A and B are shown apart, each in its own frame.
Chain A
Amino acid sequence: MFENLDVFKISHAMAKHAGQRQSLIAQNVANADTPGYIARDVPAFKTTYENDGRNLQRATRSRHLNGMSVNGNATPTEQHTMASPDGNTVSIEQEMLKATDTIRQHDRAIAIYKSSLGILRSSLGRR
Chain B
Amino acid sequence: MSEFSKALGVSSSGLQAQAARLRHLSENISNADTPGYRRKTISFETAFGAGDSAARVETGRVNLDSTELERIYDPAHPLSDDTGHYDGSNVNLLIELADAREAQRSYEANLKMFEQARKMSGSLMELLRR
Q: Chain A interface (Cβ within 8 Å of chain B)?
A: 15-16, 18-20, 22-23, 25-27, 29-35, 37, 40, 92, 95-96, 99, 102-103, 106-107, 110, 113-114, 117
Are A22 and B56 in contact, CB atoms less than 8 angstroms apart? no
Are B54 and A27 in contact, CB atoms less than 8 angstroms apart? yes
Interface size bracket, B side:
35 or more
B119 in contact (CB, < 8 A): yes
Residues of A with C-beta under 8 A to B102: 33
Interface membership of chain B positions 90-130, coded 1 if the CB is closer than 8 angstroms to chain A and 0 otherwise: 00000000000010011001101110110110011011000
B7 in contact (CB, < 8 A): yes
B11 in contact (CB, < 8 A): yes
Cα-based distance from A120 to B14 in the complex (angstroms) = 43
Main secondary structure of the interface of A (DSSP, over half): helix
Cα-based distance from A34 to B18 in the complex (angstroms) = 11
Which of B17, B43, B57: most chain A Cβ within 10 A? B57
The closest CB in chain B to the CB of A30 belongs to: B14
Are B3 and A19 in contact, CB atoms less than 8 angstroms apart? yes
Nearest CB on A from B24, distance (A) = 13
Are A103 and B109 in contact, CB atoms less than 8 angstroms apart? no
The closest CB in chain B to the CB of A100 belongs to: B116
Are A33 and B4 in contact, CB atoms less than 8 angstroms apart? no
Residues of B with C-beta under 8 A to A34: 44-46, 57
The closest CB in chain A to the CB of B111 belongs to: A29
Nearest CB on B from A42, distance (A) = 11
Cα-based distance from A107 to B6 in the complex (angstroms) = 20
B25 in contact (CB, < 8 A): no
26 CB contacts below 8 A, A to B, read A19-B7, A22-B4, A22-B113, A23-B117, A25-B7, A26-B6, A26-B7, A26-B8, A26-B10, A26-B113, A29-B11, A29-B109, A30-B10, A30-B11, A30-B14, A30-B17, A31-B44, A33-B21, A34-B46, A35-B44, A40-B55, A96-B112, A106-B120, A107-B123, A110-B123, A117-B127
